[in-house]
Amino acid sequence: MRNGKAEVEHKVAGISDISEKAALLDLANDAIFVKSVNGTISYWNQGAERLYGWTRTEALGRSTHELLRTEFPIPLTEIEAKDFWEGELRHTRRDGVQILVASRWTTLRDSEGKPLAWLEINTDITSRRRAEDATRKLSGRLLTLQDDERRRIARALHDSLGQFLTALKMNLSLLSTADETSAKLAAECSQIVDQCLTETRTISHLLHPPLLDEAGFAPAAQWFVDGFAQRSKIKANLNLPPELPRLNRDVEVALFRALQEALTNVHRHSGSSAVDICIDLDKERIRLEIVDNGRGVPKERLNRITDDARAGVGIAGMRERARELGGSLDIESDATGTRVSVTIPLHQRASVDSAQDDERGRSISVP
């Protein structure tokens, strides 16, 4: 009798303990539920009721697919094969509204290691993601405006300052036919004007190279890399796919600005003697990779520049341009050098848009 009584008391204590834990889970803001091996819900806390709109009575015994219509980033079998998985899922609430959740899955196994159930904890991140997307769109818009302003300034340098300098050079040529002293002075002034024209042309083209509009990324990249090698005395090797096609203008601008920023950083910070630039293209995406043989980036600084909140303006601009187009920026570095990779999907690629076609007919080169 005593053994029987003790066993009953032990079970009652166990039930009480489970009830207390369940009550604690109900206090959580997160949606917490358990899915059995046959896919049906065996536990559903109040956080899940609040998030999805289904009561515990309505949810128990029903499949999560029927209830939430989950959209997975990877096959479900891959998630269920892991002891722990974390990622983002898209769910549909009872009222038909889709939400995005940060989801954590834990596989519950028996003593033999076979799955018994899956514990799922979901946090609604819909509002946060909307805010992030809005911020990203604003950042992308600011970068587009920046590019437009660079293009405007580059044209202004050509149409005003460049033309004035050209006219001045012509007048100095006329003065060179006067007496010897005046001719010598005119020749010196002419040399200064030539330097001004060269500087104006360089600044204009670096702000926005006309080749980018007129011929596309490949010729513009070749022009910039050649100029970089000449100015920096760093050996630069550019490997382009044969007959690289024209891309969407935003993609070409993003790649060119990434190339500019990466090579500028190589020159300023790496101490590198050589840099390799490679463009890899397939049906799905285009990748720009810049690899130097410099001193590398210290780990602490690398963590800082790869952190969105602490990245410098240049790195942040590269990343935002890529993100705006659905791509990514990756930076790896050690004592043997630094690798910068920009990958952009080509789902936007079609014929060059009409805005780009309009730009092709206009040149901003300085004579």
Please say which residue of 93, 124, 155 terminates a domain: 124
Please say which residue of 179, 208, 237 terminates a domain: 208
Whether 58 and 80 map to the same domain: the answer is yes
What are the residues whose beta carbons fall under 8 Å from the beta carbon of 89, sequence distance 6 or more? 70, 71, 72, 73, 100, 101, 103, 122
CATH number of residue 246's parent domain: 3.30.565.10
Whether 218 and 302 map to the same domain: the answer is yes
Q: Give the separation between CA 342 and CA 328, rounded to whole angstroms.
A: 6
What integer pLDDT is reported at residue 200 of this predicted model?
A: 67
Whether 217 and 285 map to the same domain: the answer is yes
**Nearest residue to 62 (alpha-carbon basis) of 21, 83, 34, 25:** 34
Whether 195 and 253 map to the same domain: the answer is no
What integer pLDDT is reported at residue 198 of this predicted model?
A: 67
Whether 142 and 77 map to the same domain: the answer is no
Whether 110 and 154 map to the same domain: the answer is no
What integer pLDDT is reported at residue 39 of this predicted model?
A: 84
Q: How far is CA 296 from CA 16, 102, 189, 229, 333, in A?
A: 59, 35, 45, 20, 5
What integer pLDDT is reported at residue 315 of this predicted model?
A: 80
Whether 96 and 27 map to the same domain: the answer is yes
Is the whole model's pTM more than 0.85, yes or no?
A: no
Bridge pairing between strands 328-334 and 31-36: unpaired
Type of residue found at 236: A
Whether 105 and 137 map to the same domain: the answer is no
Encoding tokens for residue 328? 């990514």
Domain extent for 67: 2-124
Q: Give the separation between CA 255 and CA 78, rounded to whole angstroms.
A: 34
What integer pLDDT is reported at residue 261 of this predicted model?
A: 85
Share of the chain above pLDDT 90, in %: 18
Whether 174 and 275 map to the same domain: the answer is no
Which stretches of the chain drop beneath a pLDDT of 50? 1-19, 309, 349-367
Whether 216 and 323 map to the same domain: the answer is yes
Centre a 10 Å sphere on the Cβ of residue 52 and count the other Cβ atoms it contains: 24
Whether 233 and 361 map to the same domain: the answer is yes
**Overall domain count for the chain:** 3
**How many Cα atoms are found within 13 Å in the side-chain-facing hemisphere of 115?**
19
What integer pLDDT is reported at residue 284 of this predicted model?
A: 85
What integer pLDDT is reported at residue 103 of this predicted model?
A: 93
Please say which residue of 86, 103, 124 terminates a domain: 124
Whether 178 and 44 map to the same domain: the answer is no
What integer pLDDT is reported at residue 82 of this predicted model?
A: 87
Q: What angle do CA 99, 100, 104 make, to 5 degrees?
A: 130
Q: How far is CA 109 from CA 18, 79, 116, 118, 293, in A?
A: 19, 14, 5, 9, 49
Do residues 139 and 124 touch, judged by C-beta distance below 8 A? no
